[in-house]
Structure 1
């Protein structure tokens, strides 16, 4: 049995405890794992319909938080009209 078969076997025996889906019907959760399997405690992190590792999720979350802080400090950007020369 390979790794994918093991994962499928584990998941088929479990019940989904939590499952967050965004407005586009993609698995997505910005506050932690999008899926938690009740019996095994297996957690899955999903962003915009793509399964990611916990490390990648934490990196994405750090960047998102940093971007929000930066935008709050700088305020809205003034838009200037550009003209072709």
Structure 2
């Protein structure tokens, strides 16, 4: 489902930050190109309170209508679809 809620994690310079879950990556360049690699690990040394306070999406912030439309489309193609 598509997330439709507010951005939960701020952007950072020289990083890609997943706006919903807060995963961080940075560009690692090498002689033949480069890749995005996970970095910073903001919960690495977190205690239980920090984990509990980490912004997480609400199930109410997802667009479930998209799932229904996709299930109908796949059903018309003859694909079995099971959710839940």
Same fold (TM over 0.5): no
The structure whose RCO (Cα within 8 Å, separation 6+) is larger is 2
Which structure has greater strand proportion? 2
